[in-house]
Amino acid sequence: VEKSCGEVTRQNCSYFVNPGYPSSITNMLACILVIEKAHPDVSQIRLDFFMFELLGPTNGTCIDDQFIVTGQNTNSITPIICGINTGQHIYMDVDTVTGPLQLNMLTMRNNLPRSFKIKITQIKKGSPLEAPRNCFQYYRGVQGSIESFNYQAMKGSNLPIIPGYMNNLNYAICIHKEPGYCSVTYTSTAPDGTAYPFQLTNVDQDGHPLIPPGQAGAEIFNCPDDYIVINGIRLCGERLNDASVQLDFTRNYPVTGK
């Protein structure tokens, strides 16, 4: 079931689309979809971004376009999202609230094409689809890829390319433990040796990078503000390498977490 601006959905599965989808919109838009629980036992809402092309952030802040979620559990914080995020997904915990969830799509500029199609799945407590509590993203399978929000902007779209993730992100990405497996290895290098773009920059009080260009950073001194945490270690810089095996910080090296 497809729903658009000013509508309400109560289905276990539905889609939030821009007016006129699959055609793009080019005008300013304030679009709200209300999600009511299909059943009192619904504990989570999962959103899959089948198509998500908005203007990207300006210096890390979503100014021109914004996707805002409200109505979830108090501690289930969803940041404002913008940019190119087709293929991403997010979870919201809703087990402690009875009121509706609202999806707000705002576009602030004319004459630029935007498109969105978001799958909405309502998940009951105890369902195999349920993610661990407070997991903003949840991945299954023995292999796959994890990308920051707006990572797809580097691959091009019909919109001006504005790469980079948003400011003030703080969320958990969870990996389902598959039967027979005891650890997860993360790498920023493709099987053919090509390095995927990886950049988490930190600067000192004078605005100078704490990590030299082309190197990996680890721990709080090198990664005070922007970082990912794998196996309890902060990682940042322009290479992925925790130095547990490879001491050359100019090289990417797989990082294994339990």
Q: What local confidence, expressed as pLDDT, does residue 119 receive?
A: 99
User: With contact defined as beta carbons under 8 Å apart, do 133 and 172 qualify?
Assistant: no
> Terminus-to-terminus CA distance in the chain, angstroms?
40
pLDDT for 160: 67
How many secondary structure helices (H) and strands (E) does the chain include? 1, 16
Give tens-digit pLDDT for 142-155: 999 999 999 987 77
- Quick one: pLDDT at residue 145? 94
**Rounded Cα distance, 4 and 31, in Å:** 8
pLDDT in tens, 227-258: 999 999 999 999 999 998 999 999 999 999 87
Q: Per the structure block, which two tokens stand in for 59?
A: 């210096």
Q: How many Cα atoms sit within 13 Å of 127 on the Cβ side?
A: 15
**Dist. CA 65–CA 56, nearest whole Å:** 7
Q: Superfamily assignment of 2-155 in CATH?
A: Spermadhesin, CUB domain (2.60.120.290)
Residue ranges per structural domain of the chain: 2-155, 182-258
User: pLDDT tens across 166-188, in order?
Assistant: 999 999 999 999 999 999 999 99
Whole-angstrom distance, CA of residue 136 vs CA of residue 114: 24
What number of residues does the chain have? 258
